[in-house]
Amino acid sequence: MNHYMVLKKKDFNAFIEKLSKKMKVAAPVRKGVKNFAFEEVTRGDAISRVSLPTILPPKKYFMPQRETIQTFDRAVPRWNSVVSENDAIVIFGVHTCDLSGIQFLNAVMGTPPKDANYLARKANITVIGLECNDYCDAYASCKAMKTHLPSGGYDLFFTDIGDAFMVQTGSAAGETLAQETGFFTTADTGEQKKLGNIRKKKEKIFKDEISVKYANLRTVFEKTVQSEVWEDIGSRCVACGNCTNVCPTCYCFDIQDEIDLNLRTGRRVRVWDGCQNEEFAKVAGGENFRRKRGQRQRHRYMRKFAYPMEKYGTYACTGCGRCTRTCMAKISLKETIHALGEEAKS
Amino acid sequence: MTALLESPYEVMAGKILKTRQWTDLEKYFEVELPGRKDLGHEPGQFVMISVPGVGEAPISVSSSPTRKGSFEFVIRKAGGVTGMLHTMKEGDSVGIRGPFGHGFPTQRLEGYDLLMIGGGCGNIPLHSLITFVLDNRSKFGKVDILVGCKTPETVLFAEELKDWAKRPNVRLDLTVDRGGPGWQGKVGLITKLIPGIPTDPQRTCAVVVGPPIMYKFVIQELLKKEIPDDQILVSMERHMKCGVGKCGHCQIAQYYCCREGPVFTFKEIRHFYEAI
Amino acid sequence: MGKPRVAFFDFACCEGCQLQVANMGEDLLAVLGAIDVVEFREVMSEKGEYDIAIIEGSITTSRDVERIKKIRQKAKVLMAYGSCATIGGVNGMKNNFELDHIRRYVYKDAAKYFETIPTRAVHQVVPVDYFVNGCPIYIPEFVKALKCALIGIPYKVPDHAVCVECKLNENECLYDKGLTCLGPVTKAGCNSWCVNHNNICYGCRGMVTNPAENGARDILEKYKIPMPWVENKMNMYNKVREHDEKEEAHGKKC
């Protein structure tokens, strides 16, 4: 399915408005001074079409920060599984880095035993991607992680070609959704050419941002598990947990029970959790298997660059740059990889 | 549009048939599922036990799958869920999810001489394997059991240990770290007992379950006896929360302890800087 | 089984936490359905027997010490709530000064009538079963801890940073706005209440137990924030922590 359509920019507002009457539409909007966040919108002009990644990635729609997975009644006692039937939602403005994040989560949650809650939500989500014609900022490493160009994970994919969006269809559902709004026309050769030019220009703009080659990343990380780089990072990290919460491919969670004030009924919820948090690897007896912050950071990196290769055949880093951008201590992904790469050489 | 998948978090209601306070911290439970449904576990596997409103905790099954109809746990009081379980009695209900993970590879162990070493709480999952082996005694070679506990008061399965020790085809040694009034048995670390056991390393499988500190020293002793690293089995303790390889809490390097473990060969984990 | 009798007591504090309880709205009715309140100064006054004692305020006089010991003896369960009771709170600022000096500074000629001791959190004087940190308490957390007390399970104050909850709420980081916030070193559990409302975190819930001193220094350097300034900010709520550090050998923690 490689069908190209065009949406005129003048129709963009009407397109979003029409869509939002049919279902929920979420898109990046300005949040505060320097940031953006995916939020529900009803108008196209509320959307920020900037390339800077949002504070949280769109994973929050697939796996919300808090989600009920069960209800219980202590009096019986009985547990009922809850697999929410969420409303249909379109997520507009998902950049290629985040598309690759969603693809990774799909692989993890679709691996048996499958995560019913995640998959039920996914079934009701339509993803509309949006190309970055230029870098968001210097923290991104999407070229190095090969995520700067679209390669699936979307129902529709938008590229800004000036006075219009070139729209690539990625699924039958995406195509139907576009056709139903009535704003899309088939792309002509002139528009095709404009897209080609943008991609050519991107080749010049986007350069490998990290000093280790894609194919060598795993080996570098496997060779440097005992590196002093981890000690150094450990001494700088404050374990605020920002890096894992904002990561598009972090999916660790905690399971907690909440009881109502009648002390009888309640629910079991899952809440995002992260390996940087103090209590994450503690067992009931009190032993903490990753007591040092350096060990926790190493674990986070290994989960991006070493372990998933074996399990899912891909890296779990999308190059979005969020972890570096949000780090209180300015621990930089690019610098870390560079330092490890240098060490692996010797 | 909703995927009609069963939630991996589905809980079965189990009923407590019998309880007994064994030590200050450990309590014994016998539990059955509705209709006396078989749990279908292997020795060394664990289940998630739910107390509604409190949460879930990973607990090793202490009984052998050769004993049908019900199953057993010995639960140490360590947190909210286990604390609450200690207040429960016959007839009460608990939630059961599982069994999870890879237990001891009982088929692979067939024909081998077994050296089973348990320290403290580790004797609980090991009890499942020992019972299984004794129920299928002819399938295995020589059976040596080493049990280590902190003090005489904390010895688990005391009655059964006496019974096992009397069997002609079992060699059992029990030691405590600190003796006490009336204790006539051995005193000292479990590692001291290993050199004295005659072993044919190629024919021997060692199974070690205990606290992290014990692994370090016991495994050294076993390697000294030249038991190959893929014939040394260990069971790792981590904080399993989901049991289905997703939540990340129990991860050791790339392994999810709840899926690929909790039983590993020493060969699998010896190079993992995070394991022991 | 009757409803557990709950008594609220206050020591050196502003009674703001009791006010939070009185103002909790609809939840209050549900709470009152689950417990019998036998002592509550903000809305009633009655002496009686109780199962759960909920303590607000710090221990600042030797009379306080005697009184809290008596309450502890009588109560089956004791909950400390609010920063003053759990971590010493703003009353701890007194510990920055020499006692006699501060007493004369406050009470002038009448100082001799006002006996005083260094400020202590409740757990530094008697054992505490439940902690609900915060100035004031965050009502959903208080209700959560109360439910734990009612069903007899422990409640543990989260030991990770406020940042964790703040990110889940997708707030813009206050450092991105050029403000200094104590979120990275303060215990979570308040759902980043202040930051959700555009205020900085003042550290009112106490420091995480394993704070990264080096890392925190790096952050200050990065944002060019003077150390004494932050120490000042930190000590506003956390001065009494020094007493905990001295007693760590006893395994006491809040």
Strand-pair category, B12-21 with B26-32: antiparallel
Percent residues over pLDDT 90 in chain A: 88
Would you state the pLDDT for residue A78?
84
Q: How many angstroms separate the CA atoms of B239 and B247, rounded?
A: 10
Residue C38 binned pLDDT confidence (cut-offs 50, 70, 90): confident
CATH superfamily of B12-100: Translation factors (2.40.30.10)
* CATH class of the domain comprising C5-151: alpha beta
Rounded mean pLDDT of chain C? 88
Chain B interface disruption, residue of A63, A69, A73, A79, most B CBs within 10 A: A79
| AA letter at A149 | L
Mean pLDDT of A69-91: 88
DSSP code of C119?
-
Helix residue spans in A187-227 (DSSP H): 189-205, 217-223
Over residues A31-74, the pLDDT tens digits come to 998 999 999 999 999 999 999 999 999 999 999 999 999 999 99
Would you kindly state where each structural domain of chain C is located, as residue ranges?
Answer: 5-151, 162-243
Would you state the pLDDT for residue A284?
78
Would you kindly state where each structural domain of chain B is located, as residue ranges?
Answer: 12-100, 106-269
Would you state the pLDDT for residue C247?
61
Q: How far is C149 from chain B (nearest CA, A)?
A: 12
Give every CB contact of residue B2 below 8 A, 6+ residues apart in sequence.
A83, A85, A120, A123, A124
Q: Do A329 and C144 touch (CB under 8 A)?
A: no
Mean pLDDT of C153-160: 94
Q: Is the pLDDT of residue C26 over 90?
A: no
Mean pLDDT of C70-77: 92
Q: How many angstroms separate the CA atoms of B80 and A75, rounded?
A: 19
Contacts of B84 in chain C (CB under 8 A): 152-153
Which CATH number fits the domain B106-269, given the four candidates 1.10.3720.10, 3.40.50.80, 3.40.640.10, 3.40.50.10490? 3.40.50.80
Q: Is the pLDDT of residue C39 over 80?
A: no
- B15's enclosing H/E stretch is strand B12-21
Would you state the pLDDT for residue B79?
85
Over residues A243-283, the pLDDT tens digits come to 999 999 999 999 999 999 999 999 999 999 999 998 898 88
C30 interfacial to chain A (CB closer than 8 Å): yes
Contacts of A281 in chain B (CB under 8 A): 238-239, 249
Residue C254 binned pLDDT confidence (cut-offs 50, 70, 90): very low
Chain B interface disruption, residue of C150, C153, C155, most B CBs within 10 A: C153
Q: Do C153 and B87 touch (CB under 8 A)?
A: no
Over residues C228-251, the pLDDT tens digits come to 777 787 888 888 877 776 666 454
Helix residue spans in chain B (DSSP H): 80-85, 106-109, 123-135, 158-166, 212-224, 266-269
Would you state the pLDDT for residue C41?
64
Would you state the pLDDT for residue C213?
74
Rounded mean pLDDT of chain A? 94
Half-sphere CA count of B17, side-chain side, radius 13 A: 11
Examine the predicted complex and report whether its ipTM is higher than 0.90.
yes
Neighbours of chain A (3+ CB pairs under 8 A): B, C
Integer CA distances (angstroms), C240 to C163, C189, C203, in order:
23, 20, 13
Would you state the pLDDT for residue B182?
87
Chain A interface disruption, residue of B87, B257, B274, most A CBs within 10 A: B274
Mean pLDDT of C60-69: 94
Over residues A19-35, the pLDDT tens digits come to 999 999 999 999 998 99
Across chain B, which has 276 residues, the per-10-residue mean pLDDT values are 70 95 94 94 96 94 93 93 95 95 96 96 96 95 95 92 93 92 90 91 95 90 94 92 94 91 92 70
Would you state the pLDDT for residue C252?
46
Mean pLDDT of A194-201: 96
Q: How many angstroms separate the CA atoms of C119 and C59, rounded?
A: 6
Contacts of B9 in chain A (CB under 8 A): 69-70, 81, 255, 268
Would you state the pLDDT for residue A309?
92
